[in-house]
């Protein structure tokens, strides 16, 4: 049984939906300057953290897990911040934990299996050992400044990802871009043989995304990177500039160029500098808004051999926001009518460029509207793979049809839909919505297989 309980502290571009900051009759901006960057994909944000904070976080996790093991639920919740305390009091924590361990027996111990930094938190992953076999791990976020626990999830243990085998690849830390705006990245490289191998750059969705495109306990880009590298493909993923340098970026003068293009072109050039990479077999893959922008990246970084578009948007961003909000029914009719009125102003370019829509200047939307990425994709003349989840309420059939119609007649364009998958390409059921993103899952293996097959032979479509 996988269970996701508690409240993480990850800010998201669609924060008013995922955290409940928007409710019937109430709207609050809790994510700061870039927090209302209403992405087509939710994200986590990484911020620097000292080694001392990491040590405190590990110690705090040990104390928390020991209290769970011993049934001291009041002691366990004593480590929570106010949001966690409101969501999980001792009785609820006891009920949740006992329900979980009923199938696995007593918790016997734990072992550190991963660590990252997210939104001012040190995020610790501990593989859990029970009396009976399990494949579970605890993901615990600890505030780097206060030492309080700000998120707790039970997730599949890292080793349980069947299509990604650690022995088949190695990971290397790299830096993307140019000083003073260097971006930390991870290059995953096949372990068998010397290469050179085909390679792909991953472009995440809008807003302050980390290199794993983290949302709650899910890490779609890590899943994809490790899955592809286990199949003989080099993958580069990196933190976005809007994540690490938001304070240095003036939203009034930020466009897709600053958010995506400069760094993505640098990422492709980094791959070209690597001896492990076959320089004539480099691909660009994007997710959500990253998919929408991918053709322009490929054009500016040409030549590339192909594009992989994961849930690309096709409608204007303001229209997409309105549709999502109406679908989710998370706001009053009055709020929705007002948001739609503003979206119409944007569509008609009647809103002053400096005025904000959902916390983002109209100038950004206008810059995005001026780009014709479908025409750019056709101009490239390279093979294109478009992947879509049938349960995706963010990039919907209308978006995919926009690409299909625009690329009609172009050679080597393939569209594949996976009926059971959501916007993160993770299996789900029932009416889709952002709350399911707080449940741990993995990118479906069919997606990894489709991407790998395309990279191996893009002309077979």
Domains (range + CATH), the chain: 15-160 (3.10.450.590), 166-460 (3.40.50.1820)
- Residue 158 is predicted with a pLDDT of 63
392 catalytic per annotation: yes
Please give the share of the chain, as a percent, with pLDDT higher than 70.
85
- Residue 43 is predicted with a pLDDT of 29
- Residue 256 is predicted with a pLDDT of 81
Across the range 302-320, mean pLDDT stands at 93
Across the range 422-428, mean pLDDT stands at 93
Query: What is the average pLDDT value for the chain, to the nearest integer?
Result: 82
Across the range 13-25, mean pLDDT stands at 26
> Do 309 and 400 form a contact (C-beta atoms < 8 A)?
no
At 28, is the pLDDT very low, low, confident or very high (cuts 50, 70, 90)?
Answer: very low
pLDDT tens digits, one per residue of 403-424 = 999 999 998 999 999 999 999 9
70 catalytic per annotation: no
> Do 62 and 311 form a contact (C-beta atoms < 8 A)?
no
- Residue 116 is predicted with a pLDDT of 72
Q: Sheet containing 107-118: which strands, arranged edge to edge?
A: 107-118, 121-130, 136-143, 149-156
- 202 vs 210: CA distance, rounded Å: 11
- Residue 7 is predicted with a pLDDT of 25
Both tokens of 278, joined, read: 């076959």
Dihedral in degrees, nearest 10, Cα atoms 223, 224, 228, 229: -50
- 382's CB contacts (< 8 A; 6+ apart) are 298, 304, 305, 306, 307, 412, 458
pTM above 0.85, yes or no: no
Of the candidates 376, 377, 401, the one whose C-alpha atom is nearest the C-alpha of residue 388 is 401
Low-confidence winner among 130-139, 312-321, 373-382, 392-401 (lowest mean pLDDT): 130-139
At 360, is the pLDDT very low, low, confident or very high (cuts 50, 70, 90)?
Answer: confident
Across the range 215-222, mean pLDDT stands at 87
pLDDT at 3 over 50: no
Report strand pairing: 277-287 vs 169-176.
unpaired
b vs e for 217-254, b when ≥16 Cβ sit within 10 Å of the residue's Cβ?
Answer: bbbbbbbbbbbbbbbbbbbbbbbbbbbbbbeebebeeb
Residues constituting the chain? 461
- 331 vs 231: CA distance, rounded Å: 44
Across the range 135-141, mean pLDDT stands at 87
What's 260's DSSP letter?
A: I
Catalytic annotation, pick one of 127, 212, 423, 438 = 423
Coil, strand or helix at 235? strand
pLDDT at 107 over 60: yes
Low-confidence winner among 41-55, 105-119, 202-216, 272-286 (lowest mean pLDDT): 41-55
Q: Which residue has the tokens 């707080």?
A: 438
- Residue 41 is predicted with a pLDDT of 27
pLDDT at 300 over 60: yes
388 catalytic per annotation: no
Catalytic annotation, pick one of 210, 223, 392, 399 = 392
Catalytic annotation, pick one of 288, 363, 399, 438 = 288
């Amino acid at each position: 049984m996988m269970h996701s309980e508690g409240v993480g502290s990850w800010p998201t571009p669609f924060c008013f939906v995922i955290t409940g900051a928007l409710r019937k009759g109430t709207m609050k901006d809790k994510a700061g300057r870039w927090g209302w960057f209403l992405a087509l994909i939710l994200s986590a944000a990484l911020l620097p953290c000292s080694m001392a904070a990491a040590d405190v976080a590990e110690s705090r996790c040990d104390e928390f897990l020991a209290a769970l093991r011993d049934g001291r639920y009041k002691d366990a919740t004593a480590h929570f911040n106010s949001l966690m305390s409101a969501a999980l009091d001792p009785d609820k924590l006891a009920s949740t934990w006992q329900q979980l361990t009923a199938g696995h027996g007593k918790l016997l111990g734990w072992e550190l299996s991963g660590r990252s930094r997210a939104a001012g938190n040190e995020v610790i992953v501990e593989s859990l050992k029970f009396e009976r076999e399990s494949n579970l791990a605890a993901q615990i976020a600890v505030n780097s400044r206060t030492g309080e626990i700000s998120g707790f999830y039970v997730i599949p243990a890292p080793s349980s990802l069947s299509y990604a085998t650690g022995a088949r690849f190695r990971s290397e830390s790299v830096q993307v871009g140019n000083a003073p705006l260097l971006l930390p990245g991870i290059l995953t490289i096949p372990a068998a043989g010397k290469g050179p191998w085909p390679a792909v750059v991953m472009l995440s969705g809008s807003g302050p995304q980390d290199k794993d495109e983290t949302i709650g306990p899910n890490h779609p880009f890590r899943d994809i990177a490790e899955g592809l590298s286990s199949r003989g493909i080099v993958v580069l993923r990196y933190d976005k500039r809007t994540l690490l340098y938001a304070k240095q970026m003036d939203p009034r003068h930020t466009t897709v160029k600053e958010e995506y293009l400069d760094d993505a072109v640098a990422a492709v050039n980094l791959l070209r500098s690597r001896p492990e990479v076959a320089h004539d077999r480099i691909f660009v893959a994007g997710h959500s808004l990253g998919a929408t922008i991918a053709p322009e990246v490929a054009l500016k970084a040409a030549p590339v051999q192909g594009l992989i578009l994961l849930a690309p948007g096709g409608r204007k961003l303001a229209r997409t926001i309105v549709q999502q909000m109406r679908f989710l029914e998370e706001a009053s009719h009055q709020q929705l009518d007002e948001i739609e009125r503003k979206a119409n102003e944007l569509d008609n370019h009647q809103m002053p460029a400096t005025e904000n829509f959902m916390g983002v200047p109209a100038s950004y939307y206008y810059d995005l509207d001026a780009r014709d990425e479908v025409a750019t994709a056709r101009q490239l003349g390279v093979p294109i793979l478009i992947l879509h989840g049938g349960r995706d309420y963010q990039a919907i059939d209308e978006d995919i049809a926009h690409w299909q119609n625009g690329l009609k007649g172009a050679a080597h364009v393939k569209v594949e839909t996976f009926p059971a998958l959501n916007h993160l390409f993770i299996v789900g059921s029932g009416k889709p919505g952002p709350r399911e993103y707080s449940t741990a899952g993995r990118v479906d293996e069919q997606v990894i297989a489709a991407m790998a097959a395309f990279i191996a032979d893009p002309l077979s479509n």
